[in-house]
Amino acid sequence: MKKKILTAACAFFALTALSTQAQTPIYLDKNQPIELRVQDALSRMTLEEKVAMTHAQSKFSSPGVPRLGIPELWWSDGPHGVRAEIEWNSWGYANWTNDSITAFPALTCLAATWNPELSYAYGNAIGAEARYRKKDVLLGPGVNMYRHPLNGRNFEYMGEDPYLASIMVVPYIKGVQENGVATSTKHYVLNDQELWRGHINVELSDRALHEIYLPPFKAAVVDGGCWTIMGAYNKVRGQHACHNEFLLNKILKDDWAFDGVVVTDWGGAHDTKEAALYGLDVEMGSFTNGLTSESEFGYNNYYLGDGYLEMLRSGEVPMSTVDDKASRILRLIFRTSMNIDRPWGSQATAEHAAVARTVGEEGIVLLKNSPVTKKGTPLLPIDGSKYNKILVVGENATRSLTQGGGSSELKPKEEVSPLAALKAVYGNKISYAPGYKAGRSMYGNVEPISPAVEDALRAEAVAMAQDVDLIIYVGGLNKNHEQDCEAGDRITYGLPFSQNQLIEELLAVNPNMVMSLLSGNAVEMPWVDRVPAIVQTWYLGSQAGNALANVLTGEVNPSGKLPFSFPKRLEDNGAIHYGQMSYPGDSINQTYLEDILVGYRWHDTKKIPALYPFGYGLSYTTFEYGKPQISSKKLLEGETATVQVKVKNTGKVAGKEVVQLYISDKKSSLPRPTKELKGFQKVDLQPGEEKEVTFTITPAELCYYNDALSQWVAEPGEFEAMIGASSADIKGKTQFELVF
């Protein structure tokens, strides 16, 4: 770390010297408008200094201008917690002793809360930890769409619906950036698979691009005000996304007026001239695979290094390109590392642990809760007085699920396992059998488990299950390669490590099973009809065990709703349905043949029911919906209408319900999905309490993208507003007409 210390020292002394001059330069005066500061600093810089700012100086830092007292920028993974310190010039961990943090739940879990207030709390807490660690840019959040259940990185994203992701991403960004730490919303755009991610070329319609894949990024820029955007590894229409003229110059910087910095994903640049001309501002990690490989090249050999400098000097590319890049980088520096008013931050506090636990509790989704016998009561919440012997089965009950997964790997100060939390509640009633063993497998380095070991673990668990009152199964996926992990997609929809066989054998000897599935993806469930109680638990971070235990015991009433559909069969998914060219492509090209019919749009429109639909989630209480009422049956251009519905808690315990508004266009010039999410509210209700939920509808909510006209269109005609508890559970409808 010597180089970092010397660079910082040079910046400090230069800043001190300049500050003692008779007149402080404009760029050093925090009271001056930021654009004046940017232009003043830019006017003092040499060409070489401008170019140096556009590429890395280490694995996770980029230069400032030490001569002018302008500090460097420090970048850090990731969206679920601030990553442990990485060495200056390698992917190895620096093994510091003061970089242990709070691990927050994965973003699939955050999306499953359907709670924007929690998204802000999450962002604010992680931003405080990044600030405490002296990071200037946090590489997240991720808002790529959940197109299919095989994407190894789905756990880092916010589900299959662009509206849900758009609403949830904005408060996260605002919460982080209030700490003077920039977010880097990623991966812009269409990085929807990890297989061949570095070169696969994505082809899709303008309509699918604008309706499905761009909206969360637009929300991040226009509504969230994010200060950086990270490009994707893949190509889009023949050009790499990290220097893509259409995506970066036309859409992001022109149409959306983005004034921040576009940064490559690590190793995402491929051409000097394209990088110069087509919207890239900072190049990081070149000549690596983004995860492990190293390069003998120096940082000046980056595409935006010496080669770029030569092109500028020769006139092959205009000077305006580097001035624009340097201006954006300076603006970012003034917002972050030169922002002397930003708070100090804090790390691994009790308050942050509480945020992580609450997000986990509200994100856990109760998928099924049935009695074992017809005359029995549902297994959940667990009544400890009924059970003398409880067997916990599954490696995920003890495995650290903050490790692995790629760049989102974390070093938590504390990580409470499900087994530890359940033992804290039930004491010596709990026994444990792993049942299976996964080993460690990162980036293809598989640690094999022999059949003999696998058979012995399964036999032990089944034998123990015969003599207990209740089984709590804690399994699912993990962060191994070809599961929920960067740089590789899943190769099967089923559970790995012979878990299906284990589950079937456990049920054969003891049907009293509560299943906790830890994953960031939907999984095949051949045993779904025989398991009485199932909770989708996600990756919950530091407070994983406590959040799960609180839900299973009824200390917390589950209120999560699925942010993506669980298909019954893999081929029931729209992207998979169309075969190889739709997913995964032919290794060179790929076409999104399902077009706009992603997720529930596919299941609804094609009448292929999901096993568990988008927006679905049960509770320990029950809710009754009234008949929705609309303020006007005719919606005029430029006006709004409101839809109101009463929701009542008809059960015996307090609970939260996510009330969802879907809109259906009854007749349009171009085909549209059966319905689309256009609003949601999470309401907290005491037993017997009733509240009225109000949604506002504007003509903008009724638009679709007409690619023949290259614009958003709202056509006059009949529409239907649907109030639902999920995309497949519509409680009431009301019709209205859009009139021009």
Note the pLDDT of residue 444.
Answer: 61
Residues 159 and 232 in one domain: yes
In a domain, 730, yes or no: yes
Residues 431 and 460 in one domain: yes
| Number of structural domains the chain divides into | 3
Note the pLDDT of residue 445.
Answer: 65
Note the pLDDT of residue 637.
Answer: 84
Note the pLDDT of residue 439.
Answer: 84
Residues 319 and 250 in one domain: yes
CA 278 – CA 720 distance, rounded (Å): 43
Greatest CA separation for the chain: 87
Cβ-based neighbours of 358, under 8 Å, separated by 6 or more: 118, 121
Residues 616-651: tens digit of each pLDDT: 999 999 999 999 999 999 999 889 999 999 999 999
In a domain, 613, yes or no: no
Residues 538 and 664 in one domain: no
Q: Is the model's pTM score more than 0.85?
A: yes
Note the pLDDT of residue 120.
Answer: 98
Q: Cis peptide before 615, with omega less than 30 degrees from 0?
A: no
- Report the CATH number at residue 552: 3.40.50.1700
Own/partner long-range contacts of 633-637 (Cβ < 8 Å, ≥24 apart): 633/735, 633/736, 633/737, 634/736, 634/737, 634/739, 635/697, 635/699, 635/702, 635/719, 635/736, 635/737, 635/738, 635/739, 636/739, 636/740, 637/699, 637/738, 637/739, 637/740
DSSP designation for 229: E
Q: Is 342 a residue whose pLDDT tops 90?
A: yes
Residues 443 and 360 in one domain: yes
Residues 564-617: tens digit of each pLDDT: 999 999 999 999 999 999 999 999 999 999 999 999 999 999 999 999 999 999
Residues 705 and 630 in one domain: yes
Mean pLDDT of 93-101: 97
Residue that has been written with the tokens 């399964």 in this structure: 458
- Buried residues in 189-209 as b, exposed as e (16+ CB within 10 A): bbbbbbbbbbebbbbbbebbb
Tokens encoding 473? 């199964």
Note the pLDDT of residue 288.
Answer: 85
Note the pLDDT of residue 441.
Answer: 74
Residues 98 and 224 in one domain: yes
3-class secondary structure, 377: coil
Tokens encoding 711? 């614009």
Residues 372 and 415 in one domain: yes
In a domain, 340, yes or no: no
Residues 644 and 733 in one domain: yes
Q: Is 478 a residue whose pLDDT tops 70?
A: yes
Q: Is 3 a residue whose pLDDT tops 60?
A: no
- Report the CATH number at residue 12: 3.20.20.300
**pLDDT band at residue 295, thresholds of 50, 70 and 90?**
confident
In a domain, 524, yes or no: yes
Residues 53-83: tens digit of each pLDDT: 999 999 999 999 999 999 999 999 989 999 9
In a domain, 228, yes or no: yes
Note the pLDDT of residue 294.
Answer: 79
Angle at 702 between CA 698 and CA 705, to 5 degrees: 130
Q: Is 13 a residue whose pLDDT tops 80?
A: no
Residues 702-738: tens digit of each pLDDT: 999 999 999 999 999 999 999 999 999 999 999 999 9
In a domain, 116, yes or no: yes
Note the pLDDT of residue 293.
Answer: 82
Cβ-based neighbours of 519, under 8 Å, separated by 6 or more: 155, 476, 477, 484, 536, 537, 538, 539
Q: Is 532 a residue whose pLDDT tops 50?
A: yes
In a domain, 347, yes or no: no
| Radius of gyration of the CA atoms of the chain, in A | 26
In a domain, 548, yes or no: yes
Residues 102 and 240 in one domain: yes
CA 99 – CA 95 distance, rounded (Å): 9
- Report the CATH number at residue 625: 2.60.40.10
Q: Which helix (H) or strand (E) covers residue 676, if one does?
A: strand 676-685
Residues 269 and 412 in one domain: no
Tokens encoding 170? 């904005």
Q: Is 15 a residue whose pLDDT tops 60?
A: no
Q: Is 511 a residue whose pLDDT tops 90?
A: yes
Cβ-based neighbours of 153, under 8 Å, separated by 6 or more: 142, 144, 191, 194, 406, 484, 485, 486
162-177 and 116-132 helices, crossing angle to 10°: 40
Q: What are phi and psi of 367, to 5 degrees?
A: -90, -35
Residues 442 and 378 in one domain: yes
Domain range for 282? 2-335
CA 97 – CA 207 distance, rounded (Å): 50
Catalytic residues: 265
Mean pLDDT of 440-460: 84
